[in-house]
Amino acid sequence: MKQLKRTALLGTLVGAIAMAASPVHAEELTGTLKKIKETGTIVVAHRESSVPFSYLDDKQQPIGYSMDLCDRIVQAVKTELKLPDLKVTLQPVTSSNRIPLLINGTVDMECGSTTNSQERQKQVSFGVTTFVTNVKTVVKKASGVNNLNDLNGKPIVTTSGTTSVALIKAHEKGSKIDFKEIYGKDHAESFLLVESDRASAFVMDDILLAGLVANSKSPADYKLLDEVFRTEPYGIMLRKEDPQFKGVVDRTLSGLMKSGEINKLYAKWFESPIPPKGVNLRFPMSQELKDAIKSPNDKGV
């Protein structure tokens, strides 16, 4: 009888250890993981011109820093759900439709350059911070614009579905100028409006502006103004109230941070020549991002 009890106890301990090692399998699947398991497919949303996070290469395939991070998440999902043949469907999204398509179940996660804000957290969730940016303004050097006051009475463009115009109006100097709001459907179109002189300035995240300038026809023609409207964290966007899937995402990203692999990915996309033109953005990691990597969190701005 004692032997039987010891055997039963050993079986219980082994079972408990197995459940702790695989938290997803310790409970019934719900939310996104259940959907993925049932369909055998994960739908990854990507951007088309968010250099170097998520954009199209010369073969029209999505690549970038965020895409690499999401690939690691996909691999983790394959392992968690024991689906080695998991199908990955890529779905392009814009700033305007990324949140609706995530909420309605069309896509399972968005791998782009989306700011984790407290306002957006009312609708969606985010993985731990993977980048930190400053919202700035790009203008042509020949425009004579050196600060926000110089933009009074001029057209300013930003991308539909972003927070930039609201940030201008909330800025101490920005609130005192009168400007015409113009919206581009994506970052590429917004930058084109400045390039073609249909807008005097483009307000957006500094790294996205740096990527657009570096890949433009004449990078030397542009400059970023000094004013910073807001410092913002980026995160992989997920459905709200989906703790199982968020757990996989956060464990995967935190693991990359702890191992140091995320530093290699950063160097690959921000400090090395990148496709399709071999441009090096020469954008060193900020102290804010170093802090976020040291202490992973999903705090919104």
- For residue 296, what is the DSSP state? -
- Calculate the alpha carbon distances from 200 to 153, 155, 157, 230 in Å: 10, 6, 8, 21
User: To the nearest whole number, what is the mean pLDDT of the chain?
Assistant: 90
Query: Hey, what amino acid is at 231?
Result: T
* Six token digits for residue 92: 């392009």
- Examine residue 52 and say whether the peptide bond preceding it is cis (omega within 30 degrees of 0): yes
- For residue 166, what is the DSSP state? H
Query: Hey, what amino acid is at 150?
Result: D
- Please report which confidence band the pLDDT of residue 8 belongs to, taking 50, 70 and 90 as the band edges: very low
Can you tell me the distance from the alpha carbon of 69 to that of 56, in angstroms, rounded to the nearest whole number? 16
Please report the sign of the dihedral spanned by the C-alpha atoms of residue 174, residue 180, residue 185, residue 189: negative
Distance from the Cα of residue 189 to its chain's centroid: 19
Domain range 134-231, CATH architecture = 3-Layer(aba) Sandwich (3.40)
In the prediction, which pLDDT does 12 show? 43
* Identical fold between 21-130+235-294 and 134-231: yes
* HSE, side-chain direction, 13 A CA sphere, residue 122: 2
Return the domain boundaries, the chain: 21-130+235-294, 134-231
What residue spans of the chain are helical by DSSP H? 2-21, 31-39, 65-81, 98-103, 164-170, 187-195, 206-214, 243-259, 261-270, 287-294
In the prediction, which pLDDT does 172 show? 63
Q: Does domain 21-130+235-294 have CATH number 3.40.190.10?
A: yes
Full-model pTM: 0.84
- Calculate the alpha carbon distances from 277 to 80, 113, 187, 216 in Å: 37, 21, 18, 10
Can you tell me the distance from the alpha carbon of 131 to that of 121, in angstroms, rounded to the nearest whole number? 17
pLDDT digits (tens, 9 = 90+) for 153-177: 999 999 998 877 678 778 766 677 8
pLDDT digits (tens, 9 = 90+) for 197-224: 999 999 999 999 999 999 999 999 999 9
